[in-house]
Structure 1
Amino acid sequence: MSTLLKNVTNCIWHAFDSLQNNAVVHKSKLKVLTANLGTLLDLYGVEKGLDHFRSSQELTFDEFRYYLQHEVFSSLPKAVTLHIIRDYEKKINEVCWLVCRKNLVSRDKPIFSDDSVFKLFRIFCLLADLVQDADDSKHYVVVLQPSEAGIVAEQLVHCLGLRWDAADWEALGSSIGHFKWAAFLAVLEAKYCCDQQIHSKALVEAVDEVYDVFIEDIIKKGYLYKRGYLLPTMREYWCVLQPCALTYYKSSSQREQCGRIAIDEYCSVEAAAGEGKLQRFQLITPDRTFEFGSQDHKSRLQWISALRQAALVSGGAEGYQRRARAGRRGAGARREREARETKARLQHEVRARLAAEAQAQELAEMAEQDNKKLEELKHTQVELEKLLQEETQAKRDEEIVRALQARVLAEEWERREELERLQEEQNRMLEEERLKRKQFEILQAEKEAQFREAEKRLKELEREKQRLDEELRAAQEKITKTEVTAQALHVQLRDMAPGLRNGERARRAISFVPTTKSSSDTLIDVRAIRHLKVLDDDGKL
């Protein structure tokens, strides 16, 4: 059963890797693992042979795989159906998962449940490759190609109802390279399932959907109407299509199985005509013809295509997804081989082209040597003609230069005359400006003299004003004194009135008034005389 060992090698390596220490595992641990594997395969005592296998107490993975192939899996019958192989794979994966579960489940922020992680682990082991470590040739690692990981991630994203970005995944795959289990699980959880809006139940259903596609090899599932064998009525069932069988249940929970139709390469599917709203088709097997119906024409076409595909891949001991994986690998290998062949062909064409170019170069060199003298003569003739043309052109250029020089000289004279005219005009304007400036200076000097004269006159007027103010103050003082004197004289005249005559009193009174040459004194005398005249006419004070 080399096929079974090949299918479960990746999960066995994970169990071996969780037990190993420095790329080897002690036989005592391997005996427990081998005994469990033998129990699953109904083989007992297969672990006892490890005591006599090799002389060391520790085995590498190559040695352990060799022992399993020749001492355990070789005891199984060669002719085993795909259903039995799939059952064996599931049990072996469960045992290996129990061994390595602690190392593979541990992470900082888990999103998937442990059951979903186990299902993703089985998908990883199905699509991954066991390769030698680049750092240590004795050590192996299980890695998943970015293209295969992208298929799983795309299926999971579609099941979650999200949008798949192929370009983003290509960039991520090119940066990471080959995916190990931890990286694969981390990318799925952190990049596509970390949204808080995604319910945990939706994650479980999405992982189950992907698990059904890759592990259970479910090509298609959905509701179909099936005609009964005894009662010719159409009843609705939940149908699940696998490469080897079409199983139908009462509901989508798949708890109550109502029947199972085996499918092989001898089965065929044909569309059938019928009455009513159902779109009918027939599944023809060697034993019986089954009639089914769907709600619409599109669904019928999808089921017919899926059933034909299941009949096509039903034979063999490998499942549908393993064949698809092998087909993808084969297509990739063919593309790489075609690329290598194209590259080799291009290199051959380049070498042939280089050889042809070398031969052409040799012929060209020979022709060049044969025509060398002719080329030299032609070159000499060309040189002479060139010299003649150069001389003729030089004469023409000389004439052109002379004409240009004459024109430039004439232009220079014109410019010189213009400059002289402008200079004369500028000198004239400077002279006029100088005269204007002298006139302005003379006028300014006159204005300054007038200003100084006016300033001098102003000062004299100020001194005259001060003098007149002083005289006015002196006159006011004299008026004040005269008024005081007049009052005193008035008092004396009043006292002297009874003993004097009218005329004598007047003369005496006048004789007492002081006489001065000033205008203010004259004013005082007149006032005094008028006052005295009044006194004289009345004859009394």
Structure 2
Amino acid sequence: MSALLKNVTNCIWHAFESLQNNDVVHKSKLKVLTANIGTLLDLYGVEKGLDHFRSSQELTFDEYKYYLQHEVFSSLPKTVTLPIIREYEKKISEVCWLVCRKSLLARDKAVFGDESVFKLFRIFCLLADLVQDADDTNRYVVVLQPSEAGIVAEQLVHCLGLRWDAADWEALGSSIGHFKWAAFLAVLEAKYCCDQQTHPEALVEAVDEIYDVFIEDIIKKGYLFKRGYLLPTMREYWCVLQPCALTYYKSSSQKDQCGRIAIDEYCSVEASVGEGKIQRFQLITPDRTFEFGTQDHKSRLQWISALRQAAAVSGGAEGYQRRARAGRRGAGARREREVRETKARLQHEVRARLAAEAQAQELAELAQQDNRKLEELKTTQVELERLLQEETQAKRDEEIVRALQARVLAEEWERREELERLQEEQNRMLEEERMKRKQFEILQAEKEAQYKEAEKRLRELEEEKRRLDAELHAAQEKISRTELTAHALHVQLRQDMNPILRNGERARRAISFVPTTKSSSDTLIDIRAIKHLKVLDDDEKL
């Protein structure tokens, strides 16, 4: 539903502006605003998608608008009637107003009430444009063109019964430029509503009047006589005409609605002849023909024109004032284009006139130059005849030179062919040299690999030799330690065997004095003693 989002974009921007910090708003704040908008549209849970929308926790206005367009407003039906769209706009504007009202109501001296300021705010958002800020292209501002602001101010002044000064407003608009909300409200309050004689109720009625015109799309309202359906009598009603309907009430308070007649592009209005002072006309709809009347002929013409206009603009999803604004902008653009074209045409004519004068002066100068050139040409003719003879002679010389050049060219071609042949031989020799060099590089690479392998084997043999040397040295040290240990043991053994040898000597001496007559047992003892002595002698020798 892009039309609805387009209509409420300015209101949503003001709410976003009041929540933002450094041109971005945190998702938690936007979820509250989105939930309220979704509730008004009978869409629930649309704010939950913000958690998964974008990776950052803050959104710019472009990102938030993209989310609303694709996740919220796209869920609405594509075909929605104009009254429903107008009701949605009112509810969304109220929600946005609750968010930003504190900042938008802040001013030094208040003249309008809060309700009137809200209605002016809706009118401002209706007529304003969302444009990029001139100081910062990354952010937007909502501004009102001076011409559109002048229409609102003029309507307000007329409703208050004051005189409208168009020249004064043009001077004010040219000095201010584009109107932002604060400047728009300040101008209305300070310039046109600060008169102490203006009653507050008159201000409220004036704001309500222009609110009905711009927001409610009321084309015309007033008393009309209507012929009854059952009783053919003319009864007076308070009628309110909008692009899509004609609603009639019992009184101008518009509290007791008596009926509503739908108006579309198939309706027509025709004047009719009636009796008495009532000026009658008929509203012809596809379902029924209604008869109305006014007190005078002028009012009838006004109502007929208004009804025809309502029937013409009844179709589509945009209201009458939005179309009127687009038409005014188109007309303004056409006027500006026409002015630019007129200025361009005048400038072109001025440039053409100046160019014609300059061309005439140039022609006069050219005539004088032609006379001088004529004399010069006569002199030149004589010179050319002389040059022609020289040229003829030069052509003959040129033919001779060309013949020489042809011969030189032929020799050059022969030399070039010889040079190409030599170049081919040189390329062939270079190719053979490259092949030999490549083979040499391969052989050299193999030799280097063998050299590296030999170096590796030599390092391994050196490591093996160092290891064997270390083992030999360890064995020699072990043998030395063994010899020292054996020598020490031999010395210790001799020291330990000296007492035993002395004892053995004494034993021998004792045996020599033993008697010769012995028994067998004694003989056995002597043999054992001898063996013991031999063992002792062997130990002593060791």
Same fold (TM over 0.5): yes
The answer to whether the aligner puts 1:329 opposite 2:360 as a matched pair is no
- Residues 34-53 of structure 1 show CA distances to partners (whole Å, capped at 9, x for unaligned) of 11111111111111111111
Q: What is residue 489 of structure 1 aligned with on the other side?
A: none
1:282 is paired with a residue whose SS is: strand
Q: What is residue 517 of structure 1 aligned with on the other side?
A: none
One-letter amino acid matched to 1:289: T
Q: What is residue 7 of structure 1 aligned with on the other side?
A: 7
Shift in Å, 1:337: 2.4
Give me the whole-angstrom Cα distance separating, in 2, the residues matched to 1:23 and 1:133. Answer: 12
Q: What is residue 27 of structure 1 aligned with on the other side?
A: 27
Give me the whole-angstrom Cα distance separating, in 2, the residues matched to 1:333 and 1:103. Answer: 34
Q: What is residue 154 of structure 1 aligned with on the other side?
A: 154
Q: What is residue 340 of structure 1 aligned with on the other side?
A: 340
Give me the whole-angstrom Cα distance separating, in 2, the residues matched to 1:126 and 1:286. Answer: 33
The answer to whether the aligner puts 1:253 opposite 2:257 as a matched pair is no
One-letter amino acid matched to 1:168: D
- Residues 99-136 of structure 1 show CA distances to partners (whole Å, capped at 9, x for unaligned) of 00000011111111100000000000000000111000
Give me the whole-angstrom Cα distance separating, in 1, the residues matched to 2:74 and 2:319. Answer: 21
Shift in Å, 1:359: 4.0
Give me the whole-angstrom Cα distance separating, in 1, the residues matched to 2:27 and 2:364. Answer: 77
Give me the whole-angstrom Cα distance separating, in 2, the residues matched to 1:232 and 1:373. Answer: 102
Give me the whole-angstrom Cα distance separating, in 2, the residues matched to 1:354 and 1:187. Answer: 48
Give me the whole-angstrom Cα distance separating, in 1, the residues matched to 2:288 and 2:12. Answer: 42
1:321 is paired with a residue whose SS is: helix
Give me the whole-angstrom Cα distance separating, in 1, the residues matched to 2:276 and 2:207. Answer: 38
Shift in Å, 1:342: 3.5
The answer to whether the aligner puts 1:224 opposite 2:213 as a matched pair is no
Give me the whole-angstrom Cα distance separating, in 1, the residues matched to 2:364 and 2:37. Answer: 78
Q: What is residue 169 of structure 2 aligned with on the other side?
A: 169
2:33 is paired with a residue whose SS is: helix
Give me the whole-angstrom Cα distance separating, in 2, the residues matched to 1:357 and 1:73. Answer: 65
Q: What is residue 506 of structure 2 aligned with on the other side?
A: none
Give me the whole-angstrom Cα distance separating, in 2, the residues matched to 1:373 and 1:183. Answer: 73
Give me the whole-angstrom Cα distance separating, in 1, the residues matched to 2:344 and 2:66. Answer: 39
Q: What is residue 52 of structure 1 aligned with on the other side?
A: 52
One-letter amino acid matched to 1:60: T
Shift in Å, 1:362: 3.2
Give me the whole-angstrom Cα distance separating, in 2, the residues matched to 1:373 and 1:19. Answer: 83
The answer to whether the aligner puts 1:119 opposite 2:123 as a matched pair is no
Give me the whole-angstrom Cα distance separating, in 2, the residues matched to 1:354 and 1:166. Answer: 39
Give me the whole-angstrom Cα distance separating, in 2, the residues matched to 1:245 and 1:28. Answer: 42
List alignment gaps of at least 5 residues for structure 1.
375-541
Shift in Å, 1:355: 5.0
Matches within 5 A, 1:63-74: 63-74=63-74
- Residues 201-238 of structure 1 show CA distances to partners (whole Å, capped at 9, x for unaligned) of 11101100000000000011011110000011111100
The answer to whether the aligner puts 1:292 opposite 2:292 as a matched pair is yes
Q: What is residue 307 of structure 2 aligned with on the other side?
A: 307
2:46 is paired with a residue whose SS is: coil
- Residues 468-489 of structure 1 show CA distances to partners (whole Å, capped at 9, x for unaligned) of xxxxxxxxxxxxxxxxxxxxxx
Give me the whole-angstrom Cα distance separating, in 2, the residues matched to 1:351 and 1:187. Answer: 44
Give me the whole-angstrom Cα distance separating, in 1, the residues matched to 2:50 and 2:350. Answer: 58
Seen in structure 2, the aligned counterparts of structure 1 residues 368 and 71 have a Cα distance that, compared at 3 Å, is: same
Give me the whole-angstrom Cα distance separating, in 1, the residues matched to 2:52 and 2:358. Answer: 69
Give me the whole-angstrom Cα distance separating, in 2, the residues matched to 1:52 and 1:350. Answer: 64
Shift in Å, 1:22: 1.0
Shift in Å, 1:339: 3.0
- Residues 486-540 of structure 1 show CA distances to partners (whole Å, capped at 9, x for unaligned) of xxxxxxxxxxxxxxxxxxxxxxxxxxxxxxxxxxxxxxxxxxxxxxxxxxxxxxx
Mean Cα displacement is larger for which, 290-299 or 240-249? 290-299
Shift in Å, 1:271: 1.0
The answer to whether the aligner puts 1:318 opposite 2:331 as a matched pair is no
Shift in Å, 1:363: 2.0
Q: What is residue 213 of structure 1 aligned with on the other side?
A: 213
Give me the whole-angstrom Cα distance separating, in 2, the residues matched to 1:342 and 1:309. Answer: 33
Give me the whole-angstrom Cα distance separating, in 2, the residues matched to 1:363 and 1:201. Answer: 78
Shift in Å, 1:247: 0.2
- Residues 240-263 of structure 1 show CA distances to partners (whole Å, capped at 9, x for unaligned) of 000110000001010110000011
Give me the whole-angstrom Cα distance separating, in 1, the residues matched to 2:188 and 2:265. Answer: 37
Seen in structure 2, the aligned counterparts of structure 1 residues 126 and 373 have a Cα distance that, compared at 3 Å, is: closer
What TM-score does the superposition give when structure 1 sets the normalisation length?
0.67
Give me the whole-angstrom Cα distance separating, in 2, the residues matched to 1:160 and 1:52. Answer: 52
Shift in Å, 1:360: 3.4
Shift in Å, 1:361: 3.6
Q: What is residue 179 of structure 1 aligned with on the other side?
A: 179
- Residues 322-357 of structure 1 show CA distances to partners (whole Å, capped at 9, x for unaligned) of 000000011111122223333444455555555545
1:79 is paired with a residue whose SS is: coil
1:47 is paired with a residue whose SS is: helix
Give me the whole-angstrom Cα distance separating, in 1, the residues matched to 2:295 and 2:35. Answer: 52
Give me the whole-angstrom Cα distance separating, in 2, the residues matched to 1:345 and 1:299. Answer: 45
Over the aligned positions, Cα root-mean-square deviation in angstroms equals 1.7
- Residues 36-71 of structure 1 show CA distances to partners (whole Å, capped at 9, x for unaligned) of 111111111111111111111111111111111111
- Residues 115-162 of structure 1 show CA distances to partners (whole Å, capped at 9, x for unaligned) of 000000000000000011100001111000110000000001110111
Matches within 5 A, 1:87-126: 87-126=87-126
Q: What is residue 77 of structure 1 aligned with on the other side?
A: 77
Give me the whole-angstrom Cα distance separating, in 1, the residues matched to 2:53 and 2:352. Answer: 58
Give me the whole-angstrom Cα distance separating, in 2, the residues matched to 1:347 and 1:174. Answer: 25
Matches within 5 A, 1:230-245: 230-245=230-245
The answer to whether the aligner puts 1:144 opposite 2:133 as a matched pair is no
2:116 is paired with a residue whose SS is: helix
Q: What is residue 280 of structure 1 aligned with on the other side?
A: 280
Matches within 5 A, 1:447-458: none
Shift in Å, 1:299: 1.0
Mean Cα displacement is larger for which, 9-18 or 345-354? 345-354
One-letter amino acid matched to 1:7: N
Aligned residues: 374
Matches within 5 A, 1:388-537: none
- Residues 63-112 of structure 1 show CA distances to partners (whole Å, capped at 9, x for unaligned) of 11111111111111111111111010000000000000000011111111
Give me the whole-angstrom Cα distance separating, in 1, the residues matched to 2:103 and 2:32. Answer: 18
The answer to whether the aligner puts 1:16 opposite 2:16 as a matched pair is yes
One-letter amino acid matched to 1:98: L
1:64 is paired with a residue whose SS is: helix
Give me the whole-angstrom Cα distance separating, in 2, the residues matched to 1:343 and 1:73. Answer: 46
1:163 is paired with a residue whose SS is: coil
Shift in Å, 1:367: 1.1
One-letter amino acid matched to 2:237: Y
- Residues 347-387 of structure 1 show CA distances to partners (whole Å, capped at 9, x for unaligned) of 5555555554554343221212346799xxxxxxxxxxxxx
Give me the whole-angstrom Cα distance separating, in 2, the residues matched to 1:28 and 1:38. Answer: 15
Mean Cα displacement is larger for which, 141-150 or 41-50? 41-50
Q: What is residue 135 of structure 1 aligned with on the other side?
A: 135
One-letter amino acid matched to 1:306: A
Give me the whole-angstrom Cα distance separating, in 2, the residues matched to 1:359 and 1:107. Answer: 65
